[in-house]
Amino acid sequence: MADEQTLDNQPEELNPQVDDVSGEAEGRVGELENQLAEAKEQLLRAAADVQNARRRAEQDVEKAHKFALEKFANDLLPVVDSLERGLELSNADDESIKPMREGMQLTLKMFLDTLERFQVQQLNPVGEPFNPEHHQAMVMEESATMEPGSVLKVFQKGFTLSGRLLRPAMVVVSKAPADALPSIDEQA
């Protein structure tokens, strides 16, 4: 009988232990689920960081390729300026220098065509509205024929490389003639 009593008591004593074990197991499972969620989040963040780094590296390489010629192109711009000035200053009617002028014109055209193949574009904004992003105003001059704020003359042409400004065009900007402006008496 003592054995029966021991057996009857044993399941009752084991039940609290089973409940304790299952409670500990549930707590441990919850803890492991939290760790798994954190690990997944860290993995997603790491994957996003890798993707962002790859995209930045690709953009850097693209920019390096696109603008690698920037310094070289800047060094060539004075050559274009010299050829253009030589053509401006030489007399087109002088027969003795006509072959030289033609050679300079062909050289300038070939030079500009070569620059364009490498996305170096010339800015010649005569007649266009003044754009401070691409033009540098050197002088303002009264003009009855042009709208105020338009480019009248170009001292030095500007250039862009793949859309990025290499050198602004140095320009003369028009302003309204003094006689077209209302006087102080007329304004009152």
**Claim to verify: residue 172 and residue 155 sit in the same structural domain:** yes
**Claim to verify: residue 64 and residue 151 sit in the same structural domain:** no
The pTM assigned to this predicted structure is 0.63
Tell me how many domains the chain contains: 2
The CATH number for 97's domain is 2.30.22.10
**Claim to verify: residue 23 and residue 89 sit in the same structural domain:** no
How many other C-beta atoms lie within 10 A of the C-beta of residue 123? 19
Residue 1, domain member (yes or no): no
Across the range 98-102, mean pLDDT stands at 94
Query: Per-residue confidence at 68, pLDDT binned at 50, 70, 90?
Result: confident
Pairing mode, strands 169-175 and 135-142? parallel
Query: Per-residue confidence at 26, pLDDT binned at 50, 70, 90?
Result: confident
**Claim to verify: residue 12 and residue 96 sit in the same structural domain:** no
Least confident stretch, 46-50, 63-67, 127-131:
63-67
pLDDT for residue 188 is more than 90: no
**Claim to verify: residue 112 and residue 85 sit in the same structural domain:** yes
Report residue 15 as tokens.
Answer: 């039940």
Across the range 151-175, mean pLDDT stands at 94
Please check whether residue 76 is in contact with residue 69, taking contact to mean a CB–CB distance below 8 angstroms: no
**Claim to verify: residue 27 and residue 85 sit in the same structural domain:** no
Helical segments of the chain, H only:
2-67, 70-89, 98-117, 184-187
Task: Show the domain range for 127.
Answer: 69-177
pLDDT at 76: 94
